[in-house]
Amino acid sequence: MKKYSKQRELILNSLRKRKDHPTAERLYLDLKNEMPELGIATVYRNLSDLCEEGQVIRIKTSSGPDRFDGNTMPHIHFECKKCGDIVDIVLFENEVKQLDNDLKKFAKQISAEVDGSDITITGLCKKCKKKLR
């Protein structure tokens, strides 16, 4: 674990409180008022360290920069292909177990072993779907 810093604590606490999934730049802009001396490089460096330690999740998007999630409980993401919103889909304990079993079964088909997964479902969100009507 990296050394404690006020910047690191601010970044982690902000992500844990948020329901959206900000980019590093969005997070930087949101935190700049609270800590004017915060630099964008500091945000990127701390996000990288927090991801490596498993305290934050990096979400690769289909288009655009990575997004970040402070919720490390088992869940999957839904990314809207039109507006880019990312929403958490919370899984119940029995669903997590079923998904784990399914992933192990899929990996077995290629003689592999599962040690983790990052699942993002893509499509149109409720708002964008409604706009098409």
Q: What is the pLDDT of residues 57-67, one digit of tens each?
A: 999 998 889 99
Average of pLDDT values for 113-129? Answer: 91
Inform me whether the pLDDT recorded for 1 exceeds 70.
Answer: no
In a domain, 20, yes or no: yes
CB-CB neighbours of 87 under 10 Å = 16
Inform me whether the pLDDT recorded for 30 exceeds 80.
Answer: yes
133 vs 80: CA distance, rounded Å:
17
Contacts of 46 (CB under 8 A, 6+ apart): 5, 7, 8, 11, 12
Task: List the structure tokens of 120.
Answer: 């993002």
Residue 2 has what pLDDT?
67
Share of the chain above pLDDT 90, in %: 83
Q: Which of 54, 70, 86 is the last residue of a domain?
A: 70
Same-domain pairing of 2 and 16: yes
pLDDT confidence band for 31 (50 / 70 / 90): very high
- Give residue 104's domain range: 73-126
